[in-house]
């Protein structure tokens, strides 16, 4: 319960970074001091960043301030106490969101494209094509394919410069349950046969570990439309799962997140308070007049 010598206000804050500024006081000779703390039970949702010389979250005079980093939406308590018994309790405290800014969309796309190109540097795809032998191509290039369909009997992925923490496995499937069908193998391992006229009827690609990467693959099976699939686990096969693979191309998408993320500040609910405490808020800033 609030006593005669203290005023307080509870302010709701969304996730973000905020500057709490003690702007002014009615009694400049003996200004009240302002203490800023999370409300009880919300201590784990936010952290206070103080001046290096400060030992507690108290603003002793106007033109002082501190930062609040809010990880999960919560409530902040602003307490105002007079400097001396019977002294003024009128103070204006402003809470302003600090936004990190966002790069122009074109620049984000350019960085994402550059990141993707760097990420796939060194990736090679091998396919054993009937009548031609081993064919090695760069990412997103066809082995056989719609314009030159030919039976593919095995595949392998090579990526010497693979990003750390990324794990890739793949498998090929044969008709009639031949030995090795569906067995997942690691990066750099050949999956399939050579010289046995044993066509592939399905391909499985899996990528895991580091976030932001996914396969993008296309495949052509005999007498079937070209199939395209994107994801961390890609399964390619014909309509009946028995059609021979006659074309494939494989790439890796690297989805680069923007360098800066702006989290909008929602208009907050009216804080709980009493006495002469008033709060004024707009989308751009939050201002408390406490007195």
Q: In angstroms, rounded to a whole number, what is the distance separating the alpha carbons of residues 261 and 104?
A: 12
134 and 185 together in one domain: yes
115 and 177 together in one domain: yes
Q: State the pLDDT confidence band at 106, using cuts at 50, 70 and 90.
A: low
35 and 164 together in one domain: no
- Give residue 50's domain range: 7-101
Q: Residues 54-90: pLDDT tens digits?
A: 889 999 999 999 999 998 899 999 999 998 888 888 8
66 and 153 together in one domain: no
Q: Which two tokens stand for residue 36?
A: 């800023």
Is 28 contained in some domain?
yes
Is 179 contained in some domain?
yes
Could you identify the residue written with the tokens 């096969």? 237
Q: In angstroms, rounded to a whole number, what is the distance separating the alpha carbons of residues 144 and 199?
A: 13
Is 116 contained in some domain?
yes
| Mean pLDDT of the region 244-252 | 95
Looking at 72, 101, 130, the residue that finishes a domain is 101
| Mean pLDDT of the region 43-54 | 88
Nearest-CA neighbor of 78 among 68, 69, 87? 68
- Per-residue CA distances from 205 to 23, 124, 173, 189, 245 (Å): 60, 14, 12, 13, 15
Residue 114 has pLDDT above 60, yes or no: no
Q: In angstroms, rounded to a whole number, what is the distance separating the alpha carbons of residues 99 and 34?
A: 25
pLDDT score at 120? 60
Report the percent of the chain where pLDDT is more than 90: 45
Residue 272 has pLDDT above 70, yes or no: no
Q: Residues 207-224: pLDDT tens digits?
A: 998 778 899 999 999 999
Q: State the pLDDT confidence band at 101, using cuts at 50, 70 and 90.
A: low
pLDDT score at 107? 60
Is 285 contained in some domain?
no
129 and 172 together in one domain: yes
Q: State the pLDDT confidence band at 265, using cuts at 50, 70 and 90.
A: very low
Q: What is the pLDDT of the chain when averaged over all its residues?
A: 81
Q: Residues 7-40: pLDDT tens digits?
A: 788 888 988 899 999 998 888 888 999 999 999 9
Greatest mean pLDDT range, 5-9, 106-110, 117-121, 199-203: 199-203
| Mean pLDDT of the region 277-288 | 45
Higher pLDDT, 55 or 276: 55
Exposure pattern of 13-31 as b/e (b: 16+ CB <10 Å)?
A: bbbbebebbbeebebeeeb
CATH number at residue 92: 2.60.120
Pairing label, strands 124-129, 74-81 = unpaired
* Contact present, 76 and 57 (Cβ < 8 Å): no
Is 18 contained in some domain?
yes
Is 265 contained in some domain?
no
Q: Which residues contact 180 (CB under 8 A, 6 or more apart)?
A: 172, 174, 191, 192, 193
96 and 118 together in one domain: no
116 and 91 together in one domain: no
Residue 186 has pLDDT above 90, yes or no: yes
Q: Which two tokens stand for residue 97?
A: 């969101």
Nearest-CA neighbor of 291 among 96, 50, 23? 23
Nearest-CA neighbor of 207 among 197, 219, 215? 215
């Amino acid at each position: 319960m609030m006593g005669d010598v203290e005023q307080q206000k509870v302010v709701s804050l969304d996730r973000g970074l905020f500057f709490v500024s003690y702007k002014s006081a009615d009694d400049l000779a003996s200004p009240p001091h302002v203490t800023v703390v999370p409300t009880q039970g919300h201590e784990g949702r936010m952290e206070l960043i103080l001046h290096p010389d400060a030992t507690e979250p108290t603003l002793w005079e106007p033109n002082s301030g501190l930062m609040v980093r809010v990880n999960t939406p919560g409530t902040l308590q602003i307490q105002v106490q007079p400097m001396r018994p019977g002294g003024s309790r009128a103070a204006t405290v402003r809470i302003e969101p600090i936004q990190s800014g966002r790069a122009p969309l074109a620049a984000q796309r350019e960085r994402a494209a550059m990141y993707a190109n760097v990420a796939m540097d060194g990736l090679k795809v091998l396919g054993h094509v009937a009548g031609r032998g081993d064919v090695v191509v760069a990412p997103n290039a066809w082995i056989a394919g719609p314009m030159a369909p030919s039976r593919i009997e095995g595949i392998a992925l090579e990526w010497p410069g693979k990003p750390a923490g990324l794990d890739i496995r793949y498998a090929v499937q044969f008709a009639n349950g031949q030995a090795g069908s569906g067995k997942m193998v690691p990066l750099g391992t050949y999956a399939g046969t050579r010289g046995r006229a044993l066509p592939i009827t399905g391909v499985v690609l899996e990528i895991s570990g580091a976030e932001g990467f996914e396969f993008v693959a296309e495949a052509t099976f005999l007498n079937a439309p070209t199939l395209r699939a994107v994801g961390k686990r890609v399964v390619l096969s014909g309509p009946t799962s028995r059609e021979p693979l006659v074309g494939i191309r494989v790439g890796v998408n690297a989805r680069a997140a923007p360098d800066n993320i702006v989290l909008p500040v929602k208009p907050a609910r009216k804080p709980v308070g009493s006495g002469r405490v008033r709060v004024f808020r707009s989308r751009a800033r939050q201002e408390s007049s406490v007195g």
